[in-house]
Structure 1
Amino acid sequence: MLPGLTCRPLTTDDVPAWADLLDRAAAVDRPHVRDSPEWLRRTLTADGFDAATQSLAGVDADGVLRAVAVVELRLGDLAHLRLPCDGVVDPDRRGRGVGRALLAWGERAARERVARRRRDLGRDVTADLQVWAGEHRDDVARLCARAGLSPLRYFSTMRRTLPTDQVPPEPQVPPGLRLVRFDEHGTAGLRELHNAVFADHWGSQPLTETDWQRFVVGNPEFRPAWSWGVLDADGVLLAYANVYAHESDWPTLGFAQADLGTLGVRREDRGRGLAQVLLAAVARRAHEVGMAAVSLDVDGENPSGAVGLYERAGYVRVHGDVLHAKGL
């Protein structure tokens, strides 16, 4: 299946070797972000993930892991199925057709997963095979084009630097509202607000409680002490900002930064300056805990005008990603 390699599914025992493979590839590919070993382990053990059919490992004659691919499908994807195929090939094994074989396997695995989900739902539903890649990865773009995937969406990583000698100003909270930190207040109502806020965003699907635990509040990189909510006088959550610490990225970056994962404001409360309040709170808190910057990712066609909002808050674009997709 993979030229010159023996194939089998991944297991949790492969996590250290998988992380080493990603390190070898990163020296050549210069990825903007890195997956920690803990995140790789959580991928393989997530509810609804079947490693036997959704993962592929290619090892050489000495047992060294040389190629990996994983196809995922979130439990909450019901109206539209998104199946990201994440793969890596050891730089020493490139140019031999391994990447093409990985992607071909990924499409087959995705089609099998889609058929199963459609049977479970009892109805036909649209689905996409997806490959994410940095905009500088011309090799991935060519690989995707040969396999029938086309660029579908463009995303930007933006960053606000936090000079050590410049304390960000305090957030100006509108009268009658209250700013709270999630380590002190808790996250009750946050999943429901998130699902409502992002209902009109491209590609968004409601997060189930299981996925919420995996990707958000149960994510080991989530920092509730850096994350904020805005409450009204009755204690209703109107807006929020979830912040993470992707510490595996820091050595490559050369500095520590906070990552603003999601920022959302309830539709009926937009236009009140709550997003600016949250951005100010995140920046000030990040500075307090010694972060050199705050980073975030944004859809270039975000319907809420988020790009302009972040630019006005001092963020500048530092990286771009392309989502390549193919209907299944």
Structure 2
Amino acid sequence: MTAEPTTAEPSTAEPATTDLNDLALPGFTWRPLEPSDAHDVFTIMAACELETLGSVVIEEADIVGDWQRPSFDIASQTIGVLDGGRLVGYAEVAKGRRAEAAVHPDHRGRGIGTALALWTQRVSRRDGKGLVGQPAPEGSAAEALFRGLGYEPLWTSWVLEMPEGKQIEPQPIPDGYAIRAADGDADHRAAHEVIEDAFLEWSDRERETFEDFAANTVLRPGFEAWNLRLMTDPAGDAVGAMFVVKAEEVGYVDKLAVRRDQRGLGLARALLVDGFAVAREHGATRSELSTDSRTGALGLYEKVGMEVTSVWKHWAIDTSDQA
């Protein structure tokens, strides 16, 4: 998800109010979101992505999965902007640190983007995390808005595609290793542990609980057993995991991890081959994933033939010293 800014010159001035949710937007109303707003948020996001990227990658299931995490309180961590009865903009802040926001393209230039960005800063201050940020496509108007509001880029992300008709060369795995669908609670928890251990080597955040992980994987709307893949060693222990979904004709690898002591054996590449293959078996004609500069994995994906289709930056601002 991306922030969709106004086209007017941004102002960093906070509205004169003690109400955190007062957006001070003449002509609009605003309120916390509800689960039933998921489709309207999807509609806004889809319009923004189509304009900026030329295609729609977000799914309504992504929004539902995020909102059903036990750690997320939709009543206090979201806000929606309405023009009459129509939702035209929204923002959310998870754990006081990770923001997502968007304004429908036909409602830009009216101060909504700036108001939502300032709201995310207030939520961050309330929740005591000291930093809030969100991604934006490189060179976009959203990026210009963040820069004007004093945000700074923390890292770069790339979306890569394995074009239609191309495949990764098969990767043999050591004897006794196997890749299969994660089956049942024990497998789901093993996949979570492998993924979290690997991600926390480079991601500066709290450890994600299994319950939050499950909300975006095995409890995600439309989940099927093949979506969560597990790699095991000869002893049957989990050494790698991957979460892959199919959106329209695209197989998207959302998470991929190999246990630290098992790297250098080609396991990540083998998982990737498996993920793309199983997505094709379920109707995907091309495959995608994203990675960022904190992982050092861009070269791996380019080496197997994937091509960068878009570049994003994560923009953040320090909220710890704001009044």
Normalised by the shorter chain, which TM-score bucket? 0.7 to 0.9
Q: State the match for 1:187 in structure 2.
A: 188
Asked if residue 288 in structure 1 is aligned to residue 302 in structure 2, the reply is no
Distance 1:310 1:142 in 2: 29
Give the number of equivalent residue pairs.
295
Alpha-carbon distance, 1:33 to partner: 5.0
Contact 1:223/1:243 (8 A) holds in 2: no
Alpha-carbon distance, 1:262 to partner: 1.7
Distance 2:238 2:100 in 1: 35
Question: Which deviations, in whole Å up to 9, do the C-alpha atoms of 1:147-178 show, x marking residues without a partner?
Answer: 22111110101111242xx7766542212322
Question: Which deviations, in whole Å up to 9, do the C-alpha atoms of 1:11-51 show, x marking residues without a partner?
Answer: 23333333333344445333765433343344444323333
Alpha-carbon distance, 1:85 to partner: 2.0
Q: State the match for 1:50 in structure 2.
A: 73
Q: State the match for 1:76 in structure 2.
A: none
Question: Which deviations, in whole Å up to 9, do the C-alpha atoms of 1:181-213 show, x marking residues without a partner?
Answer: 325994341112222222311335422022111
Q: State the match for 2:86 in structure 1.
A: 64
Contact 2:251/2:280 (8 A) holds in 1: no
Distance 2:30 2:120 in 1: 13
SS of equivalent residue, structure 1 residue 290: coil
Q: Which one-letter code corresponds to 2:90 in the other structure? A: V
Contact 1:155/1:297 (8 A) holds in 2: yes
Asked if residue 35 in structure 1 is aligned to residue 35 in structure 2, the reply is no
Contact 2:173/2:265 (8 A) holds in 1: no
1:280–1:23 CA distance, 2 compared to 1 (3 A): closer
Q: Which one-letter code corresponds to 1:296 in the other structure? A: L
Contact 2:65/2:219 (8 A) holds in 1: no
SS of equivalent residue, structure 1 residue 86: strand
Question: Which deviations, in whole Å up to 9, do the C-alpha atoms of 1:286-327 show, x marking residues without a partner?
Answer: 33333111211111242xx42222122221111111100112
TM-score (norm 1): 0.80
Distance 2:189 2:64 in 1: 27
Alpha-carbon distance, 1:283 to partner: 2.7
Distance 1:167 1:52 in 2: 44
Distance 2:167 2:63 in 1: 36
Distance 1:51 1:64 in 2: 19
Question: Which deviations, in whole Å up to 9, do the C-alpha atoms of 1:62-91 show, x marking residues without a partner?
Answer: 322222111112xxxxxxxx6222222233
1:13–1:270 CA distance, 2 compared to 1 (3 A): closer
Q: State the match for 2:124 in structure 1.
A: 110
Asked if residue 174 in structure 1 is aligned to residue 174 in structure 2, the reply is yes
Out of 280, 288, 310, which is 2:301 matched to? 310
1:265–1:37 CA distance, 2 compared to 1 (3 A): closer
Q: State the match for 1:156 in structure 2.
A: 158
SS of equivalent residue, structure 2 residue 276: helix
Q: State the match for 2:15 in structure 1.
A: none
Distance 1:209 1:226 in 2: 17
Q: Which one-letter code corresponds to 1:108 in the other structure? A: R
Q: State the match for 1:273 in structure 2.
A: 266
Q: State the match for 1:118 in structure 2.
A: none
Q: State the match for 2:213 in structure 1.
A: 212
Contact 1:135/1:321 (8 A) holds in 2: yes
Question: % of aligned pairs identical?
Answer: 25
Structure 1 unmatched runs, 5+: 74-81, 115-125, 251-255
Out of 94, 97, 105, which is 2:111 matched to? 97
Distance 1:53 1:282 in 2: 37
SS of equivalent residue, structure 1 residue 216: coil
SS of equivalent residue, structure 2 residue 200: helix
SS of equivalent residue, structure 1 residue 130: strand
